[in-house]
Amino acid sequence: MPYCVSITKPGSPSVLKTQDIEMPVPKDGEVCIEVHYAGINFADTLMRLGLYQPRPPFPFTPGYEVSGVILSLGPGVTGLEVGQRVVAAMPTGGQCSHVSVKESRVIPVPDSMGLDEAAAMPVTYLTAHHMLHYLGHLKKGETVLIHGGAGGVGTAALQLCQWAGIEQVWATASGHKSDIIKSFGGIPIDRHNEDFTKVVKEATDGRGVDHILDPIGGDNLTKSLGCLAEGGRLYTYGLSAAAPSSKRSLLKAFFALRKTPKFDALRLMTRNRGVFGVHMGTWKDENAMAEQLHRIMEGVSQGHLKPVIDSVFSAKDVAKAHQHIHDAKNIGKVLLQFNE
């Protein structure tokens, strides 16, 4: 029987349940995928806490990425076939044993890639690529600072920088995660014991860095803006400061939001700096998204990119997976497995 993960109400991981669903029937231009793996992102944990927008009304099924095998085709689908191994970027609702999704969001998985690796790619690599290349036009000689460098987006961004030939890349993370950052050519900064603004300013003779990826928000975003170089770009794509634990705390979320800077357009203009807000779940240009996904697949096939998978949890253990992410234990991507 097909089933899905459901967030029943805002709260701790205990509000996560699995429930049976009807087998989805693909509509015109859609394919039905038997899901083997679905990715979990920090955004899913924030949605569970009721701290992330946009999100469907409770109860709902989260999930932005899946991999699996095509089970059936809707009318008008010509570029794919039943039985084909694929990966898909979902608008939402991906954490199901079976999903229907637009053909334009589906990409064949090469034989050399496992379906677990494929499911670890769409959100993390697409988000990192979108910031650094689509918006940032990253080029050799520039510098990059990545917050959360050992996470899914962080390790993807490190690999993309290495592929682009970027020589100076700093990444913040807990001290025990420094090895993974070094393995991708990054310079680790212990987020608990070092001041990243001081490290970056000293290393760049006070100039700052050209690109900063910040999923933390709050006062961390203010500090990031302070070490941005002239002409630099700051990308904000999360608010993990609002969820320091797995339990819902509106007070902590309020203080994190209160500390988030209100950007002054005139000041940004006079200092020649830019801020991008990034949310791939609301990005509507599917052609741009597909083009970037194909570029990412090219990087995988050429050996430049290799998803870092921290752990795979049974879909029935989704609450444990969420707790694992909240405890900051993961290095790389956390997946749910549906085809057990």
Per-residue pLDDT tens for 47-62?
898 888 788 999 999 9
Query: What's the order of all strands across the beta sheet hosting 143-146?
Result: 187-190, 168-173, 143-146, 209-214, 228-236, 274-277
Count the neighbouring beta carbons within 10 Å of the beta carbon of residue 266: 7
Domain assignment present for residue 31? The answer is: yes
pLDDT of residue 196: 97
The region, left, alpha or beta by phi > 0 then psi within -120 to 50, assigned to residue 67 is: beta
Place of tokens 């090895």: 179
Same domain, 85 and 102: yes
pLDDT of residue 246: 60
Query: 83 forms bridges with which residues in the sheet?
Result: none
How far is Cα 304 from Cα 125, in angstroms, rounded to an integer? 12
180 is written with which tokens? 């993974």
User: Residue 239: which domain range?
Assistant: 123-280
Same domain, 83 and 9: yes
Same domain, 104 and 129: no
Same domain, 151 and 117: no
Closest CA to 290 of 78, 135, 130, 76: 130
Domain assignment present for residue 207? The answer is: yes
pLDDT of residue 199: 97
How far is Cα 40 from Cα 66, in angstroms, rounded to an integer? 10
Q: For residue 201, with 0-12 CB atoms within 10 Å meaning exposed, 13-18 middle and 19 or more buried, which class applies?
A: middle
SS3 87: strand
Average pLDDT, the chain: 92
pLDDT of residue 52: 80
CATH at 177: 3.40.50.720
Same domain, 247 and 127: yes
CATH at 65: 3.90.180.10
How far is Cα 169 from Cα 147, in angstroms, rounded to an integer? 11
Number of domains in the chain: 2
Domain assignment present for residue 21? The answer is: yes
pLDDT of residue 38: 98
Find out whether the peptide bond into 59 is cis, omega within 30 degrees of 0: yes
CA dihedral 283, 221, 208, 295 (to 10 degrees): -20
The predicted model scores a pTM of 0.91
Q: How far is CA 64 from the centre of its chain?
A: 9
Same domain, 138 and 260: yes
Same domain, 137 and 274: yes
- CB distance 307 to 126 below 8 Å: no
Same domain, 186 and 47: no
Domain assignment present for residue 218? The answer is: yes
Cα distances from 299 to residues 80, 184, 306, in angstroms, run 22, 15, 8
pLDDT of residue 64: 94
SS3 333: strand
The dihedrals phi and psi of 306, each to the nearest 5 degrees, come to: -145, 110
Same domain, 127 and 274: yes
pLDDT of residue 243: 64
Same domain, 70 and 202: no
Same domain, 109 and 129: no
Amino acid at 142: E
Query: 146 forms bridges with which residues in the sheet?
Result: 171, 213
User: For the chain, which ranges sit under pLDDT 70?
Assistant: 241-257
pLDDT of residue 42: 86
In eight-state DSSP terms, residue 216 is: S
- CB distance 169 to 196 below 8 Å: no
Same domain, 144 and 240: yes
Domain assignment present for residue 300? The answer is: no
How far is Cα 57 from Cα 13, in angstroms, rounded to an integer? 17
